[in-house]
């Protein structure tokens, strides 16, 4: 029998008990400190939580993209199935460990022992540098204490995190939960003594550590902007390999290109590293960002100015080659929405609305102030309803957003693109970003006439009383249908009353 306390989650509640019930159970089970940290790191919006996929997917994605890192999930089987399906849909080619549980193993504490056994079986140093264990909603609400797992087994680090849907608002922020936990472990190792050498670290080269899941072509583009100042680019976080964490910590400054990595930023501050917000987008954005990096590095003004002038000239030339003349609304949950909007405005677009599912932080303040000064409404923790209302009100030439927004836009004859797959999958920073983004907008806005013809052609088909192929006129109920249904409902209600008594 384990000495782990029995859960306080009411019997039968489980995943469907509701956020308040799950939070209360987690606090009663000893998770108050963890929940308070989540509330501080990832504050809610006026509607409490954006519509998004299961937050744990973000943490799972981070672990699965790292070399020599194994991931084990603890949670309801339906949740684990959905998470693993989504992870493989997004290209994961690695087994995900799962510790099954039921009411008995949860109540007796056997679940924790099963997790511990699974970790011991998985922690093989010839195969893994780390094993990540993720508590989903029910184990978190039930107080399953991953902090009691050993910190390492035969040199393999053990990283245990809670990523409940009732504590972490979006899957993007769940990336930060695991990235921050790994960076904390790496920082403690580096403080304790020598650590493994990063693969591509150049001795003596001052580095800037980018924070955010970047399109593969962006790190080389950012490195090219930094090179005239004599600076290099550390591996981006979330990392692809454990030793990359040491290279990121061994920087002169970190760049919060995605501004919601609160736990990750906290570890850089603990290591004594300054963190710079915004990013090198467009002419003004690139100039301001490079100047901030140069000041943090203590470089002479002449060197900063020369690098800035070079970047500005190249970016201005790219924007001139790809002007944008369109009204565009931007929304999404990646964290780069404000940066994309800045680049669009500099390219000539009108951007009346920018919605992001992520919270307002100090790292996005330069972008928010810049956009609002140019007439854009910036909505943090945006709901789908807010994004839809903005799209319908402004009637843009192009809407960038989530899947349901794209569907609604096309039904109205408005060209639209899924932000995650089409915008985030292209360069954003420096001259390359200016050309790539403008090309997308130009190609899509040319489709407006085609959408109008399609909407006119299919007008009234597949909606309301005209739903279904070949339907004509108003559908009629079979004779006596409504009366039979009324009697059936009355019989069910009477049976339910009899059972209740």
Structure tokens at 112: 């924790």
Q: Report, at the CATH architecture level, how domain 322-454 is classified.
A: 3-Layer(aba) Sandwich (3.40)
Long-range contacts of 147-155 (CB under 8 A, 24+ apart): 148/4, 148/112, 149/115, 149/116, 149/119, 150/119, 151/185, 153/119, 153/120, 153/123, 154/123, 154/124, 154/125, 155/125
Side-chain half-sphere CA neighbours of 54 within 13 A? 24
Phi then psi for residue 246, to 5 deg, are -65, -40
Q: Where in the chain is the domain with CATH 3.40.50.1980?
A: 14-192, 207-319, 322-454
CATH superfamily, domain 14-192, is Nitrogenase molybdenum iron protein domain (3.40.50.1980)
pTM for this entry: 0.85
Tell me which CATH homologous superfamily contains domain 207-319. Nitrogenase molybdenum iron protein domain (3.40.50.1980)
Burial (CB count within 10 angstroms: exposed 0-12, middle 13-18, buried 19+), residue 175? buried
Q: Say how far apart CA 245 and CA 243 lie, in whole Å.
A: 5
Note the pLDDT tens digit of each residue in 93-107.
888 999 988 888 888
Please say whether the dihedral angle defined by the alpha carbons of residues 373, 260, 169 and 330, taken in this order, is positive or negative.
positive
Which element (helix H / strand E) includes 276? strand 275-276
Pairwise CA distance, residues 242 & 288, whole Å: 32
Q: What is the mean pLDDT of the chain?
A: 88
Highest mean pLDDT (candidates 76-90, 189-203, 384-398): 384-398
Q: What is the pLDDT of residues 440-454, one digit of tens each?
A: 887 777 766 676 676
The larger pLDDT score, comparing residue 478 to residue 13, is at: 478
Dihedral, 353, 358, 364, 367 alpha carbons, nearest 10: -10
At CA 76, angle to CA 62 and CA 105, rounded to 5? 115
% residues pLDDT > 70 (the chain)? 88
Burial-class residue 193 by CB neighbours within 10 Å (0-12, 13-18, 19+): exposed
Distance CA 429, CA 411 (A): 32
Largest CA distance in the chain: 87
**Across the strands, what pairs with 349?**
none
Neighbours of 493 (CB within 10 A): 10
pLDDT, residue 184, reads 97
Per-residue confidence at 1, pLDDT binned at 50, 70, 90?
very low
pLDDT single digits (tens) 263-286: 999 999 999 999 999 999 999 999
125, 163, 157: which is closest to 42 by C-alpha?
163
């Amino acid at each position: 029998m384990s000495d782990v306390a029995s859960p306080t989650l009411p019997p039968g509640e489980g995943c469907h008990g509701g956020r308040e019930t799950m939070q209360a159970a987690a606090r009663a089970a000893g998770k108050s400190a963890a929940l308070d940290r989540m509330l501080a790191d990832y504050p809610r919006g006026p509607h409490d939580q954006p519509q998004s996929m299961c937050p744990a997917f973000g943490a799972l994605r981070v672990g699965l993209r790292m070399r020599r890192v194994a991931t084990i999930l603890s949670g309801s089987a339906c949740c684990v199935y959905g998470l693993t399906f989504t992870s493989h849909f997004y290209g994961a080619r690695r087994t995900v460990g799962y510790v099954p549980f039921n009411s008995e193993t949860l109540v007796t504490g056997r679940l924790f022992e099963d997790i511990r056994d699974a970790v011991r079986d998985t922690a093989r140093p010839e195969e893994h540098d780390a094993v990540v264990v993720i508590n989903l909603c029910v184990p978190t609400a039930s107080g399953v204490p991953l902090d009691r797992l050993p910190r390492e087994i035969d040199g393999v680090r053990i990283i245990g995190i809670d990523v409940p849907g009732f504590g972490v608002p979006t899957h993007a922020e769940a990336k930060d939960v695991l990235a921050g936990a790994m960076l904390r472990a790496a920082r403690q190792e580096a403080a304790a003594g020598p650590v493994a050498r990063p693969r591509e670290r150049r001795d003596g080269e001052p580095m800037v550590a980018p924070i955010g899941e970047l399109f593969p072509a962006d790190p080389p583009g950012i490195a090219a902007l930094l090179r005239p100042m004599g600076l290099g680019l550390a591996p981006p976080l979330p990392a692809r390999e454990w030793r990359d964490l040491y290279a990121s910590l061994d920087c002169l400054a970190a760049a919060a290109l995605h501004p919601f990595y609160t736990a990750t930023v906290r570890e850089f501050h603990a290591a004594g590293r300054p963190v710079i917000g915004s990013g090198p987008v467009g002419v003004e954005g690139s100039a301001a960002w490079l100047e901030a990096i140069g000041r943090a590095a203590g470089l002479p003004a002449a060197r900063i100015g020369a690098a800035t002038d070079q970047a500005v000239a190249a970016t201005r030339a790219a924007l001139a080659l790809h002007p944008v003349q369109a009204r565009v609304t931007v929304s999404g949950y990646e964290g780069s929405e404000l940066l994309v909007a800045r680049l669009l405005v500099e390219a000539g677009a009108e951007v009346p609305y920018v919605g992001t599912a992520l919270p307002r932080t100090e790292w996005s303040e330069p972008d928010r102030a810049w956009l609002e000064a140019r007439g854009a409404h910036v909505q943090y923790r945006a709901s789908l309803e807010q994004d839809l209302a903005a799209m319908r009100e402004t009637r843009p030439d192009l809407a960038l957003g989530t899947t349901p927004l794209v569907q609604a836009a096309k039904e109205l004859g408005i060209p639209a693109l899924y932000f995650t797959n089409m915008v985030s999958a292209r360069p954003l920073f420096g001259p390359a970003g200016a050309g790539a983004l403008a090309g997308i907008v130009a190609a899509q806005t040319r489709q407006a006439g085609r959408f109008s013809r399609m909407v006119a052609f299919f007008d009234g088909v597949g909606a309301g009383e005209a739903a279904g192929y070949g339907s004509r006129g108003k559908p009629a109920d079979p004779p006596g249908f409504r009366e039979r249904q009324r009697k059936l409902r009355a019989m069910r209600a009477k049976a339910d009353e009899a059972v209740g008594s």
